[in-house]
A and B are shown apart, each in its own frame.
Chain A
Amino acid sequence: MSTMTNTTTTTQVHRVYIKTTADRIWAAITKPEWTARYGYTGYVSYDLRPGGRYEVRATEGFRAAAESQGNQLPEVIIDGEVLEADPPRRLVTTFRMLMDAEIAGEGFTRVTHEIKDIGGGVCSLTVTHELEGAPKLALILSGGLEDVGAGGGYPWVLSDLKTLLETGSPFTS
């Protein structure tokens, strides 16, 4: 591993508290019928064992929106490998965005999802994304390109996920 300095400058940590169960949060992260409904949307596919494939395909709406702006999307828009899967507590995968050649060229990064039941019917979801060598992806995921139509990154996605799980409908659609 690289030095501590790299970790400190390129890792993002995002946390949200949601009034729901760990199982529902786990499902909302790992099941395509859930992931199509919040944030950027997309159909996830996880082979939930170490070495298993992780892929995301665009929803019809997302693909149509991209194509109306002249962006042809590949069949798989995010890919990676499952490193750890401990339902409903911990999921670690690699992550590579394939929608843009430059960002795809930044290569694989690493995402850790941690779900903790903190009592009172509330769980925390912490997403830690190690983004060494991926400054463009990091900018998008932090929400830094929202004004140019790249969405609000993790804060936006997690806020939307909270709304979906707590109220039954997302605010993005």
Chain B
Amino acid sequence: MSRATAVPEPLARRALTCDQIVTYSHAVNDDLVFKALADPTRRLLLDRLFARDGRTLTELESEVEMTRFGVMKHLRVLEDAGLVVTRRAGREKLHFLNAVPIRLIHDRWIDKYTERQVSALADLKTELEGNE
């Protein structure tokens, strides 16, 4: 995981390189997402990133009542679940909110159980309006 790879000069502006400390299990495991979300501090960190994305650990640390080490631990859990993606920009490590895992859960689970209700409401609407 060397970060020392030279970035060609014209690319210096987008010197955002991917941290790829990821394993197969992280890629396919919804449990990690649910576990990550099941903690108020971690949800708060996500809310902070939603309000303003691409923050450093120091910035995030200033927003929660917790030690730097505690915040790091929570960020690691969020990262493992894919909810936070980190990138290097120069010497700084920036944290970005990644909403895709939440979207996947929405699309795979929530839609499945709400579809029937929505179609039932659509039928009701048709029936009520048809009787006017």
A binding-site residues for B, Cβ under 8 Å? 1, 4, 7-9, 11-17, 19, 92, 110, 112, 114, 116, 118-120, 122, 124, 126, 128, 130, 142-143, 152, 154-156, 158-160, 162-163, 171
Contact = CB atoms under 8 A, between A and B. Distances in A.
Contact of B98 (A8, A13, A119, A122): A13
B107 A159 contact: yes
B107 to A, nearest CB: 5
Contacts of B90: 4
Interface of B: 12-14, 16, 18, 20, 22-24, 26-28, 52-56, 82, 85, 87, 89-90, 92, 94, 96, 98-100, 102-104, 106-107, 111
Contacts of A130: 14
A92 B27 contact: no
Nearest to B98: A15
B96 A13 contact: yes
Given A11-B53, A122-B28, 5 more contacts: A7-B94, A12-B53, A14-B99, A158-B100, A163-B107
A7 B22 contact: no
B89 A124 contact: no
B54 A124 contact: no
Nearest to A2: B13
A11 B54 contact: yes
B100 A159 contact: yes
B53 A15 contact: no
B102 A155 contact: yes
Nearest to A143: B99
Contact of B104 (A118, A154, A159): A159
B92 A155 contact: no
Given A19-B28, A128-B87, A14 B98 contact: yes
A81 to B, nearest CB: 14
A7 B89 contact: yes
